[in-house]
A and B are shown apart, each in its own frame.
Chain A
Amino acid sequence: MTFLIRHISTTADGRKIVRPTEIARDSITVGRAAENGIHLPDLAVTPEHARIEIVDNRRITVVATGGLPFEVDGRSVQRADIDSMKGAELRIGGHRLTVGQEDGKVTIAVERVEALSEASEDKDEARAFSLRGKLPGKRVSAWGFAILVLLAFLAVPIWSYASYKNVKERPERFHADESWSSGPLSLAHKSLEGDCQACHTQAFVAVRDTACIACHTDVHDHADPARLMQAKGEPGIGGALLTGVAAMFNRPEGRCVDCHTEHEGAGPMQPTADKFCTSCHDGLNARLTDATIEDATDFGKAHPQFRPAIMTVPGAHPKFQRISLDRKPTEDSGLKFPHKLHLSRTGGVARMAQTMKADHGFGDALACKDCHTPTADGVRFQPVNMEKDCAMCHSLAFEEIGGTLRTLRHGEPEQVIADLRAYYRSTGPSHPIALGGMARRRPGQYAQGQLYHAYFGAAAERPALAGDAIRAVFSKGGACYDCHVIAPPPSPISDNWRVLPVHQTMRYMHKGWFSHDAHKTETCESCHAAPKSDRASDLLLPGIETCRTCHGGPKAKADIPSGCALCHSYHADEGAPWVAKQGVAGQKITMNFQPMSVQAIDKH
């Protein structure tokens, strides 16, 4: 039998050259070695790779001889029987051997199908030398990233908005529109962190007051809204422009959120800025001509003198009036109390204080704290209490019985009068022994020194002594008169002595806030000129100049730059302004500061 070997090679321009060789043998070898019947110059082929034997006029057998397999029609085998009439395709290394039969000869077409090396393969130079294929294409990744971002940060958040529209409260879990939050909510609103729609109720509509009022039901306006608008100054060119733009974008003015800005970070809510106050209060009187308050802008430079509410009419039905401290107002509290005398480091009061050091903790002279006790919150002082603060020196004792001192009742003149009368009446004069017994005596011996005088004389004098004592107590030099203003009885025979009511003002400045607790680092005398005051009617309130030694405007170089909100509340009530509250909270209970949610407060 004969093999017809056709070596096929390809020229550079793709033309095929076939070189046929006939080998008249029954068996030929295939390998890299030159002596093989089919020489394959291929490093992937062993020197003697396989042997092809002719079995009969149709069948041939291929056996691997070098240990490495070969492929027949894609299968890797060590041995294969092939019907040459039907043909087959062998693959050895990078060569393809196509088996067939022609004119009774077994034909084997040998062709190199793999490039000689990886580098020898066709390369698209622009692609091979660039990063194309090494990284995702720019166009693909641009679209990919953009679509991903739009889905995650626009479509899904809008979907979560839409799905919770008209739902009163969202369930507690992550909602996609939280990724729109520009910053954490303040502590007070922390529970609303995941519930954007609690405030942003409608899409493309700026937060309205109705959202705030839904929870803050008891907030009252600063003033009548119409007057508020009237009080507001005309904006400048820039302001008008801003207002115009805001109106164009549907952001009305005067909303709660104008001042109460949110998303400014966890922690207490930011204090409102002074600008919101001064936009009305700077030049307010020119716009609101009937306003009773004065213009104010910067505490350090343009703030009116304080106008405490001073009792102008004392008595049971007192009247109060706000008077500027510049007018040096006085106030009749109903007491006679010279501070100078009591605080003097020399003299009787100081001497007395020294003798009572052990019992009452006095120093070498009296100090403010010896009589004035702060309230529990430290903000103000309790009214001076006679029994507690004065009576250690100003004793009302009038009799000692079995070691117990009987005192006149303070604050109840009628009881004082009754007690004194009772004192002079209660025990009659002792009955002289000479008046006892059954002895008969002559009447008429009533004159002084005579028998009956010792008893009846004394008995007759008792009521009159009580009257004197009462008069003495209520008159100059008496225990009541020393400190109080006394109204004498309308007629000499009447007992109706009256003590004018005492009024001790707890809070003079109702429009502003002052906490003594926040000023503990100062001495009392640094603000209150008590040691120099020799009249009880002196109003010892310090004026604004005293405050300004430390406090200045918010932008001032003062020790304590102070905004309006340090002393004033927009939604004013009896309590401290918000900033002052935060200051106290910050100093005292920072660690335990756990504000209740609005809902929790409502439940309480």
Chain B
Amino acid sequence: MATRATPGRVKGETLHDGFLRHRNFRWLKAALILSFVIILGYALIDVEPRHNGGSWYGYALGTIGALLILWLTVLGVRKRAMTPGRWSLKAWTSAHVYLGLSLIVIATLHAGFQFGWNVHTLAYGLMMLVILSGMFGIFVYATLPVALSNNREEMTQSQMLDAIRAIDRQLHDAAQPLVHAQAALVQACLDDDPFGGGIVRRLSGRYPGCATRLAQSEIRRVTALRPDTGVDPLERVDALLERKEAMLARLRRHLQLKALLEVWLYIHVPVTFALIAALSAHIISVFFYW
């Protein structure tokens, strides 16, 4: 059976094509060719006394690199306007990723492998930090969404939060008959912010001293040797705490995966601006002390 081209779609493009494999890795190929040509030039062109940013080849690579950095930064503006077609955002992102990676080659050869404690190497280091954070971003974008989806099990974020709220309400009611010491444990569990903790807790997913876990273990110490009569409010609290703990585990895993998906941008974007500042200082200083 003949297939009919879908109107409005470019031939050969499928909707499932991510930005990485866009147009059969067109920009990967472009970046590889660019890097290869530059490496070849570095090897064949004999600049005296040695390759560095001050040779004509170094200046040429530096100009290419600086313009490329500025173009790569424009993605931040460009991504706010999604368009299809040849200059689609996907194509732009694909080019951003692969040309950004080719900067490693361009900038390293621009420097001629000369590094030191100066503004020039600072710009290089910041650029590498941006690239590495971008590589991390691509890695997590490629691997984590599956884990995120598996963990959610079709629950939305609001549903997760509502589930915890429901358990909290039940806990609150169930704990009313408890003596004060036990009630305080449950109260601490209720007072514990499921979104609390700093960036380290978010990224590691470890929450030592979790009040829910503490409350449960303390209550179990009391209930351990008692028979389950079915009327003991502690048993009900225990069961609720267990449910809350399971729900918290899912929420925390969700938060961890989301944090990993987000955190690289907190480096990628601000360091890009630091890089542009360092790049300006680098260029101005070179011409200042010319």
On chain B, the residues within 8 Å of A150 by CB distance are 277, 280-281
Binds A, one of B17-25, B35-43, B182-190: B182-190
Are B289 and A177 in contact (CB-based, < 8 A)?
A: yes
Cβ distance A16 to chain B, nearest Cβ, rounded Å: 20
Are B165 and A117 in contact (CB-based, < 8 A)?
A: yes
On chain A, the residues within 8 Å of B194 by CB distance are 118-119
Question: Which chain A residue lies CB-closest to B255?
Answer: A129
Binds B, one of A98-106, A120-128, A322-330, A488-496: A120-128
Cβ distance B105 to chain A, nearest Cβ, rounded Å: 20
Q: Does B278 count as interface, using CB distance less than 8 angstroms?
A: yes
CB within 8 A of B277: which of A138, A145, A157, A249? A145
On chain A, the residues within 8 Å of B161 by CB distance are 119, 123, 125, 128
Are A146 and B187 in contact (CB-based, < 8 A)?
A: no
Are B290 and A135 in contact (CB-based, < 8 A)?
A: no
Are A203 and B288 in contact (CB-based, < 8 A)?
A: yes
Q: Does A191 count as interface, using CB distance less than 8 angstroms?
A: no
Once bound together, how far apart are the Cα atoms of A145 and B277, in whole Å?
8
Question: What total count of A-B pairs have CB within 8 Å?
Answer: 187
Q: Which of A135-152 contact B (CB under 8 A)?
A: 135-136, 138, 141-150
Q: Does B274 count as interface, using CB distance less than 8 angstroms?
A: yes
Are A276 and B48 in contact (CB-based, < 8 A)?
A: yes
Question: Which chain B residue lies CB-closest to A32?
Answer: B176
Q: Does B14 count as interface, using CB distance less than 8 angstroms?
A: no
Once bound together, how far apart are the Cα atoms of A599 and B191, in whole Å?
74
Q: Does B114 count as interface, using CB distance less than 8 angstroms?
A: yes
Q: Does B141 count as interface, using CB distance less than 8 angstroms?
A: no
Q: Does B104 count as interface, using CB distance less than 8 angstroms?
A: no
Are A273 and B49 in contact (CB-based, < 8 A)?
A: yes
Q: Does A131 count as interface, using CB distance less than 8 angstroms?
A: yes
Once bound together, how far apart are the Cα atoms of A251 and B290, in whole Å?
8
Cβ distance B156 to chain A, nearest Cβ, rounded Å: 10
Are B198 and A153 in contact (CB-based, < 8 A)?
A: no
Q: Does B157 count as interface, using CB distance less than 8 angstroms?
A: yes
On chain B, the residues within 8 Å of A158 by CB distance are 288
Are A131 and B202 in contact (CB-based, < 8 A)?
A: yes
Q: Does A264 count as interface, using CB distance less than 8 angstroms?
A: yes
Interface of chain A, helix or strand or loop or mixed?
A: loop
Once bound together, how far apart are the Cα atoms of A83 and B179, in whole Å?
33
Are A116 and B54 in contact (CB-based, < 8 A)?
A: no
Once bound together, how far apart are the Cα atoms of A131 and B273, in whole Å?
20
Once bound together, how far apart are the Cα atoms of A345 and B202, in whole Å?
92
Question: Which chain B residue lies CB-closest to A241?
Answer: B56
Pick from A47, A149, A205, A242 the residue with the most CB of B within 10 Å.
A149
Q: Does B258 count as interface, using CB distance less than 8 angstroms?
A: yes
Are B172 and A135 in contact (CB-based, < 8 A)?
A: no
On chain B, the residues within 8 Å of A130 by CB distance are 258, 262
Binds A, one of B3-11, B77-85, B116-124, B218-226: B116-124
Once bound together, how far apart are the Cα atoms of A242 and B196, in whole Å?
61
Q: Does B287 count as interface, using CB distance less than 8 angstroms?
A: yes
Q: Does A346 count as interface, using CB distance less than 8 angstroms?
A: no
Once bound together, how far apart are the Cα atoms of A277 and B114, in whole Å?
26
On chain A, the residues within 8 Å of B277 by CB distance are 145-150, 153-154
Are B274 and A200 in contact (CB-based, < 8 A)?
A: no
Are B272 and A142 in contact (CB-based, < 8 A)?
A: yes
Once bound together, how far apart are the Cα atoms of A196 and B289, in whole Å?
8
Are A134 and B172 in contact (CB-based, < 8 A)?
A: no
Are A204 and B290 in contact (CB-based, < 8 A)?
A: yes
CB within 8 A of A141: which of B196, B266, B286? B266
Are B290 and A47 in contact (CB-based, < 8 A)?
A: no
CB within 8 A of A134: which of B171, B198, B276? B198
Are B114 and A183 in contact (CB-based, < 8 A)?
A: yes
For the complex with contacts A180-B286, A182-B53, A249-B287, 16 further pairs of A-B residues with Cβ separation under 8 Å are A44-B183, A47-B180, A117-B169, A119-B193, A128-B161, A131-B263, A145-B273, A145-B274, A149-B274, A150-B280, A177-B285, A179-B122, A180-B288, A203-B288, A273-B48, A273-B49
Give 8 nearest A-B pairs by CB, closest first: A145-B274, A117-B190, A117-B168, A273-B48, A142-B273, A141-B270, A149-B277, A200-B289
Q: Which A residues are within 8 Å of any B CB, using their own CB?
A: 32, 41, 43-44, 46-47, 66, 68, 116-120, 123, 125, 128-131, 134-136, 138, 141-150, 153-154, 157-158, 161, 177-184, 196, 200, 203-207, 242, 245, 249-251, 261, 264-265, 270-273, 275-276
A–B Cβ pairs within 8 angstroms, 12 of them: A44-B184, A117-B165, A128-B195, A141-B270, A145-B277, A146-B277, A153-B285, A178-B118, A181-B118, A183-B114, A264-B50, A271-B49
